Structure 1
Amino acid sequence: MEIPDELYREVILDHYRSPRHHGKMEKPDVLEWGKNPLCGDELELYLTVNGDKITDLKFDGKGCSISQASASMMTEAVVGKSLAQVKAIVSDFKGMMMEGKPADALPDDLEDAKSLEGVQKYPVRIKCALLSWNTLLEALKKLESRKAA
């Protein structure tokens, strides 16, 4: 079923105006920083893990509506998921953004994130949409390296 672009715009604006999981965290397990040098988007990602599950994830920073909405959507999609599930969710989202995987093929966890499919048409904006997702992958790498040590 084709969803009108206007509905997608509303979803993006809703996440931009009322971001979920926005703010700083007092004692995160991991704090990771990301920046998009092309447009100046900046992001701090605060991650708390219990066992193999993300129990809390917050973001703070400044940037365009795409980067901020995408970060909000990402946090909603991954909080409460196992690290393996999170990696799969990130892979699915990146597949849509970078490889043209159809939004309809994405799992329900990415329902709101499907609204960013249209960003593919603007290659310079893809990095805006991916900033938080790539920063999350870096945070997971940091977490895994600590566990291995």
Structure 2
Amino acid sequence: MMRELYTQVIMDHYQRPRNRGELENPDLKEHLLNPLCGDEVTVYARFEDGKVAEATFTGRGCSISQASASMMTGRLVGKSREEAASEIEWFKRAMTGEEQFSEADDLAALKGVIKYPSRIKCATLPWTAFQEGLEKL
């Protein structure tokens, strides 16, 4: 039952991605490719008053990487650089089982990926790209 719900959440974000598209004159732009599977993502962000005012992504790949990017962009808007960095760290720990997902959170749909270690990189790809972009700011 829960697995079906999670699959629906992932497919919804994959088929109707939130915040998909290039951002004009971004403060942050980072491209990452997973050479093992061919997934690629570019994340963009614009900051205002030290907070993420807008976050978008482009890319192609499996439903997991693209749904994760969609969820991530929505999650990071309104966060300061420090909050965004700590949110990314939390998510990456959650994807290794070190942190727990809240069942009320769309991100919980990705927790099934933990059972498939080769797919964890798919889920974390956009988050890692954003993290690398933050480190260059």
TM tier, smaller: over 0.9
Tell me the residue number matched to 1:15.
13
Runs of 5+ in structure 1 lacking a partner? 144-149
Deviations 1:96-143 (A, max 9, x none): 102442223x8x7xx111110000000100000000000000010111
> Which deviates the most, 28-37 or 94-103?
94-103
Tell me the residue number matched to 1:35.
33
Q: What is the alpha-carbon root mean square deviation over aligned residues?
A: 1.5
How far apart, in 2, do the equivalents of 1:102 and 1:29 lie?
Answer: 31
> Which residue identity is paired with 1:30?
L
Q: Would you tell me which structure has more helix in proportion to its own residues?
A: 1
Percent identity (aligned): 47
Tell me the residue number matched to 1:119.
113
Match of 1:136 among 127, 130, 135: 130
Which secondary structure state, in structure 2, belongs to the residue aligned with residue 98 of structure 1?
A: coil
State how many pairs are aligned: 137
> Which deviates the most, 82-91 or 61-70?
82-91
Deviations 1:9-51 (A, max 9, x none): 1110000000001001121112111111110001111111113
> Which residue identity is paired with 2:87?
I
**Higher relative contact order, structure no. (Cα contacts within 8 Å, ≥ 6 residues apart):** 2
How far apart, in 2, do the equivalents of 1:21 and 1:93 lie?
Answer: 19
Structure 1 moving runs of 4+ over 3 Å? none
How far apart, in 1, do the equivalents of 2:24 and 2:101 lie?
Answer: 35
TM-score normalised to the size of structure 1? 0.87
> Which residue identity is paired with 2:41?
L
Runs of 5+ in structure 2 lacking a partner? none
Q: Verify the 8 A CA contact 1:100 1:120 in the aligned structure 2.
A: no
Q: Verify the 8 A CA contact 2:97 2:114 in the aligned structure 1.
A: no
> Which residue identity is paired with 1:116?
L
Bigger Rg, which one: 1
TM-score normalised to the size of structure 2? 0.94
> Which deviates the most, 33-42 or 84-93?
84-93
**Alpha-carbon spacing, 1:87–1:93, altered in 2? closer, same or farther (3 Å):** same
Instruction: Describe how 1:72-83 pairs up with structure 2 within 5 A.
Output: 72-83=70-81
